[in-house]
A = this chain, B = another copy of it.
Amino acid sequence: MDNKLKNKQGLTEEEFLKTYDAGEYERPSVTVDMLIFTVTDQEKESYRKLPEKVLRLLMIKRGDHPYIGQWALPGGFVNMDESMDEAARRELKEETNIDNIYMEQLYTWGDVGRDPRTRIISTSYMSLVDSHSLDVKANDDADDAKWFTVSCKLFQEQKTVTPAGYILQRLFKLILSNEDDILSATIKIVKTVENRVTKIEREIVESEGIAFDHAKIIEYGIERLRNKIEYTDIAFNLMPELFTLTQLQQVYEIILDTELLKANFRRKISDMVIETNEYTKDAGHRPSKLFRFNPN
């Protein structure tokens, strides 16, 4: 490419860049918000039943205004000398102390009033962590990071047919809980189809204890996770090196919030796993074969 080309002011690219002034336009701040999911065992309820699994999300208690005392997603500013992904990895490392874990960009949230301090645009990332690779680290961190059990359920659906399409309104209840706190929010998702143009809007109806618009960001992340677990192998990021097929099925079940039939589940995931010769021991019942992930 000819880099001696001159612009209307008669400047070459080199000269142009040397004199370039980024200008006095005011700029938004840019942050990343991390959705860090893991799956852990619930305490066994009866003497020799299998432990139930729960989906957990890492949240941080705010120590200052705004939303002081409420819980927010971990995250922080994107520095001038790092890419978005690098910023996200840095935050992840700070919170979980793990380096090489699954991470994916989800969506960028840029409504004007979403932070009362100043204009902040925030990109959300989702990360999936095997709970066994986590040390307690994130639990006794100075900045009050804690894992919350996540539940997100559709509880109302309303369809209105209009002359040129329809309006579908769905209400989701998001509940985050642990031993000490229960946070909740209601998120309204409105899908409008009019003259074959589809539009989807997401709105927080009510939010208890969840800072900023993070309830919306969490709901969106869960939706994406549910969707993606169906047609990719991301679920294995939540599994330890060796696992039983029942454990794997439990992970699918808590994420999708449905019960699956064992035989069918095994058929479906059969070529994503490799059989090993090892078995579980000293459960109060028949031992089960351990499998590992098969990266085809």
Name A's B-contacting residues (CB within 8 A): 5, 7-8, 11-13, 16-17, 20, 22, 25-30, 63-66, 68-69, 77-78, 80-85, 100-102, 105, 107-112, 116-119, 121, 123, 165-166, 193-198, 233-234, 236-237, 239, 293, 295
Contact = CB atoms under 8 A, between A and B. Distances in A.
A295 B77 contact: no
B26 A80 contact: yes
Q: Which of A107, A116, A194, A295 has the most chain B CB atoms inside 10 A of its CB?
A: A295
18 contacts: A7-B64, A17-B116, A22-B118, A25-B29, A26-B80, A78-B110, A83-B110, A84-B109, A84-B111, A85-B110, A100-B194, A101-B197, A105-B107, A108-B108, A110-B123, A196-B239, A198-B233, A198-B237
B196 A293 contact: yes
Given A123-B108, A236-B196, A22 B16 contact: no
Nearest to A128: B197
Q: Which of A16, A111, A121, A193 has the most chain B CB atoms inside 10 A of its CB?
A: A121
A68 to B, nearest CB: 5
Given A7-B68, A198-B234, 10 more contacts: A8-B64, A12-B65, A13-B65, A28-B78, A78-B121, A83-B111, A85-B110, A102-B197, A193-B295, A196-B237
A84 B293 CA distance: 39
Contact of A13 (B13, B66, B107): B66
Contacts of A236: 196
Given A13-B66, A83-B111, A108-B108, A27 B25 contact: no
